[in-house]
Amino acid sequence: MEERAEKAAQKGSKTERWCWRLILLVTVALVATMAALTLLKYFKHSNSSRVSGRPGPIVQKYSEALQLSMQFFDIQKSGKLVDNPIPWRGDSGLRDGSEEDLDLSKGLYDAGDLIKFGFPMAFTATVLSWAILEYGDQMKAVKQLDHAHESLKWITDYLINAHPSPNELYIQVGDPDLDHKCWQRPEVMTEERPLIQINTSFPGTDVAAETAAAMASASLVFRKINSSYSKLLLMHAQQLFAFADTYRGSYSVSIPQVQIYYNSTGYGDELLWAATWLYHATGDLTYFKYATEQNGPAFANWGSPSWFSWDDKHAATQVLMSRISFFGTKDISFAENMDLQKYRETAEVFMCGLLPDSPTATSSRTASGLIWVIKWNCLQHAVASAFLAVLYSDYMLTSQTEVLYCDGKSYKPTDLRNFAISQVDYVLGKNPMEMSYLVGYGSKYPQYVHHRGSSIPADARTGCQDGFKWLNSFNPNPNVAAGALVGGPFLNETYIDNRNNSMQEKKKRCAGRRRRRHQHQTFSSCTQTPSKSLAFSSIPKGMAAEEDVELSTFKSQLSQTQEIWKQEMEERESQVDVLQKKLMEVKVCIEGSEEDSKKELEVLWRRVKTTATLLTYLKSKARLMAVPHLAHTSCGIKQLEGVGLVDKDGTPLSGWSRNVDLSSFDSPDEDTWIGISKQHGPLDEQDATYIGELLKSVQMVTDVMEALVKRVVLAESETAIEKEKVTVGAEELKKKSIQIENMSLKLEEMERFALGTNGILTEMKQRVEDLVEETYRQRQRAAENEQELCRVKRDFESLKSYVSSLITVRETLLSSEKQFQTIEKLFERLVAKTTQLESEKIQKETEVQKLMEENVKLSALLDKKEAQLLAMNEQCKVMALSASNI
């Protein structure tokens, strides 16, 4: 246990030594908050899903801080710099990625180092995109929107090139160990720049999902500016999300060397974060379902808010999902809407914890009200919380949500905005140190920032090793890292401006396990017990520590007893010396009778022998007590089957007392008296008194030794039992861990099976619906057929009655046959008459034909006469004309 504790301490110190990293991450959160506060906004009520409001007057100090913060993106750039506004920066990292035929020259360096870490860089892009989407108008008002677009594209260009295929993503450029052995400007670095990637064999769900979130959010930013680039970003985002979800696993597990710098504590929050951004970017309800009913119960931590950071996106996801709740969405089920409300309720708990006078306010604050969670990079939680608070405040105002209830007490959106202002004002100088923690802002700010490019003069000719003189220099940085946000104050609100004060001078990311645990503690109480796994792992260590303390106490008592024995033996030896001196005096002073002298000499001699015998007994007893098995035999301790260890009185081990009762050692036992009497004969009263007192002392020491031996045996037995329990517990924990892993694998298999089954069930459902519809149509046809059958029956009845009537008519006709014969005769007569009439008709027709022929002849004659008349008429006209001419 002690060795493990020592190794953990060594590992923790190593982690702290490299916990330097968050300047850019916290700066981007500060940029977002500054953008929100730059303009005083007069909100108008609107049902729009965009944070709206007509611009008000510009707040000068926030405008200046925003412009200053944006400069830090230029300071951190890698690659071929165009229109470079930073005079002490130049081109660098131009060959990054060339060994894999990739162009990874762009991107941003991490903090004051020269490494490109994909995980925090993607987080930077996501938060910057969010700030542009919500507060682009404010940025535009102070002429920083184009700068923000350019800085964002510098990152996304790098991320696109780092994703050469759907299931492959390069997540790091450079070797941190090599980098930390040098102190040099990025423009002159010459060391190797190896690449690290994740793929299907070495998955990294967390970093892949964060990169998907960055590209999805950036696609929204560039949608109206550059539609083709926006579509490219969205394609990469969807591919990366599918890769992250299909091949699940933390990149810290797949690639252990990254744990020292940006260790990830889980990937569930990144999956929800990415799915939420993809829903906003595409409107596809598949992503919404993913973040609610499908994976919300497993990953969302509803009801347990946590601090927003590059490693924990829960709080930000809750606020982003609350945006949907505020402004509404269509076509969601009741279950999905309930999950959406859980996101919003958790976001409200987070907001209530931020408000200083809320009944549920977090105690993680300094005396001046700054949110302070951990000593490493304490400002990261303050500015990130301020950003979420001002976002939520604006969502409430835009959606006409007037009140936030915190455990029965109501607050307005302005209360959240005032909290955000208090955090930003603290950073800008309204603090006990009366200094700005934003480099370059105001008249008093940190001068010794832990930053390579800032600490080395631009014209200095230094290499890898000789550059450390600038790190250790007592002079302020020659180049101002404008816009950098340092780590922040201690809990007592003091700050040490020193380049080697890596805890406060740089943005600490502290990826080690020890501080990561603090970053993920429950929001409402920063002293809450960590996860159950941590609690379990601490139990055996606590037991062992307690056992070691108790055993060491017994050993201490035993050593003290041995010291007492030595002192007692020395006293007895001194008594022997005194007796010998008295004996000599007696020999010299013998003047009485020889008989009295002999008696007195015999008494003295008996006392000397008795004392020597007892001293010898004590020495042998002490030697026996030093040997465990001999001590057991001497004390009468033995092993009985079914009982265990028992003492000489038959008392089992469980009944032994832990305390030594000295009152039980006052008188020697009877066997001891008998032994001494036999050895020395009858004793007079004086000898008996002397020997009795001596024997009492010896017996007390002996009994104390035996009692201590019993206590040691008892302690060893209990220690062995506890160690066995610890071993069993550890084995049980291993078994449980294996079971949990197996259950996780089975759960993943069940999820995949459920997804497949869901498709089959959907298909079967469609088939059943088709069958139901066909059955309905058949029932309608059956009803129609039944109606047709009834109509046929009615027609058959009518036909039957008609046939009956025909039969009746036939009978009537048969009875009238004679009448028919008479009629037949009359018919024959009628036929003859008709024949006669027809012949007459033929004659008449012949006559008519003749008349018609005559009529034709008369018509022809008439026509002839008319022609003659016309000819005569024409002659008359000619003659009249001739007469007129004459």
Max mean pLDDT range (583-587, 612-616, 737-741) = 737-741
What's the confidence (pLDDT) of residue 577? Answer: 72
> Which band of pLDDT confidence, cut at 50, 70 and 90, is reported for residue 877?
confident
Per residue in 314-334, pLDDT (tens digit) is 999 999 999 999 987 767 888
Query: How far is it, in rounded angstroms, from Cα 96 to Cα 332?
Result: 46
- 66-75, 423-432, 695-704: least confidently modelled range: 695-704
H helices of 18-166, where? 23-38, 60-75, 118-141, 145-161
Which token pair is 63?
A: 């405008």
Confidence category of residue 511, pLDDT binned at 50, 70, 90: very low
Question: At 796, is the secondary structure helix, strand, or coil?
Answer: helix
Q: How confident is the model at residue 503 (pLDDT cuts 50, 70, 90)?
A: low
Please state the φ and ψ torsions of residue 165, each to the nearest 5 degrees. Answer: -145, 160
235 in Cβ contact with 229 (< 8 Å): no
**In the structure encoding, which two tokens stand for residue 284, read together?**
């596809």
Residue 6 has pLDDT above 70, yes or no: no
* Number of alpha carbons in the 13 Å side-chain half-sphere of residue 89: 27
More confident position, 16 or 192: 192
DSSP3 helix / strand / coil % (the chain, rounded to 5): 65, 5, 30
Q: What is the average pLDDT across 27-42?
A: 59
86-90, 223-227, 546-550 — which is least confidently predicted? 546-550
Give mean pLDDT, residues 823-830: 77
Mean pLDDT, range 820-825, rounded to an integer: 75
Question: What does the domain layout of the chain look like in residue ranges?
Answer: 2-530, 539-727, 741-816, 817-886
The mean per-residue pLDDT over the stretch 572-576 comes to 69
List pLDDT tens digits, range 36-65.
666 544 333 333 444 544 455 788 889 999
pLDDT at 752: 79
Label residue 743 by pLDDT band (50, 70, 90): confident
Give the lowest-confidence range in 63-67, 78-82, 188-192, 776-780: 776-780
Q: How far apart are CA 196 and CA 476, in angstroms?
A: 36
- Does the pLDDT of residue 541 top 60, yes or no? no
More confident residue, 476 or 648: 476
d(CA 444, CA 614) in angstroms, rounded, equals 83
Mean pLDDT value across the chain: 78
Query: Highest-confidence range of 301-305, 786-790, 855-859, by mean pLDDT?
Result: 301-305
pLDDT computed for residue 824 by the predictor: 75
Question: Between 117 and 677, where is the model more confident?
Answer: 117
Average pLDDT on 194-215 reads 97
Identify the pLDDT of residue 288.
94
pTM higher than the cut 0.75: no
What is the predicted pLDDT for the residue at 640?
64
- The most confident of 256-265, 578-587, 701-710, 798-807, by mean pLDDT: 256-265
Sequence-separated (6 or more) residues with CB below 8 Å from residue 854:
none
Tens-place pLDDT, residues 233-284: 999 999 999 999 999 999 999 999 998 889 999 999 999 999 999 999 999 9
Across residues 596-621, what is the average pLDDT? 70
- Is domain 2-530 given the CATH code 3.40.960.10 in the classification? no
Give me the pLDDT at residue 514, please: 32
What mean pLDDT is predicted for residues 525-541?
28
Q: Tell me if 151 sits within 8 A of 180, measured CB to CB.
A: no
Q: What pLDDT is recorded for position 3?
A: 38
Q: What is the mean pLDDT of residues 272-297?
A: 94
pLDDT of residue 116: 96
Q: What mean pLDDT comes out for the span 837-853?
A: 80
pLDDT tens per residue, range 370-394? 999 988 788 989 999 999 999 999 9
Q: What is the per-residue pLDDT for 872?
A: 80
For the stretch 402-424, pLDDT in tens is 999 999 899 999 999 999 999 99
Is 518 part of the annotated catalytic residue set?
no
478 vs 585: which has the higher pLDDT: 478
HEC string of 204-267 equals: CHHHHHHHHHHHHHHHHHCCCCCHHHHHHHHHHHHHHHHHHHHCCCCHHHHCHHHHHHHCCCCC
pLDDT tens digit sequence for 90-117: 999 999 999 999 999 999 999 889 999 9
Q: What is the pLDDT of residues 764-804, one digit of tens each?
A: 778 777 777 877 787 787 778 778 778 877 877 777 777 77
- Residue 686, pLDDT > 70, answer no
What percentage of the chain has pLDDT greater than the value 90? 40
Catalytic residue among 236, 450, 520, 632: 450
Residue 277's pLDDT is what?
97
pLDDT of residue 22: 39
Return the SS3 of 688: helix
Ramachandran angles phi, psi of 652, nearest 5°: -70, 165
